[in-house]
Amino acid sequence: MARRRRGAQVARRRPTTGDQVRLNWDQGPVYYANAVDLGASLWDIKLRFAEVLEVREKKTIVMRELAKVYLSPQHAAVLAAALANSIREYEKQFGKIPGPPATS
């Protein structure tokens, strides 16, 4: 019989229609990321979040990696749709988000 890790939660049943899922969003770390790198394989989508610390001469950028998140392609598609919807709602309320300036 497998032992339960100390503090681990055991899922008793899957939520059904009408159930409410309660999450405590205050538990995890909080990061500000102004850079993201995306990667994909047959099995997953990888997002690497970073913070740009310094931009040096000769196009050198110093970044600090904050977190890596791996998603199934299905979860990544749901996330992409949710992000697109959030951006549409943001732009309805605050106006078009400007893109980065063109570089030569």
45-56 vs 60-71, strand pairing mode: antiparallel
Asked whether residue 26 is assigned to any structural domain, the reply reads no
**Residue 10: pLDDT band by 50, 70, 90 thresholds?**
very low
User: Which residue intervals of 1-104 are DSSP H helices?
Assistant: 73-94
- Residue 15, pLDDT > 70, answer no
Give the domain extent around 52: 35-94
Q: What is the pLDDT of residue 104?
A: 58
Asked whether residue 85 is assigned to any structural domain, the reply reads yes
Query: Which residues, listed in sequence order, are joined to residue 32 by a DSSP beta bridge?
Result: none
Asked whether residue 2 is assigned to any structural domain, the reply reads no
Asked whether residue 52 is assigned to any structural domain, the reply reads yes
Structural domains counted in the chain: 1
As a whole number, mean pLDDT of residues 17-46 equals 86
Asked whether residue 8 is assigned to any structural domain, the reply reads no
Asked whether residue 1 is assigned to any structural domain, the reply reads no
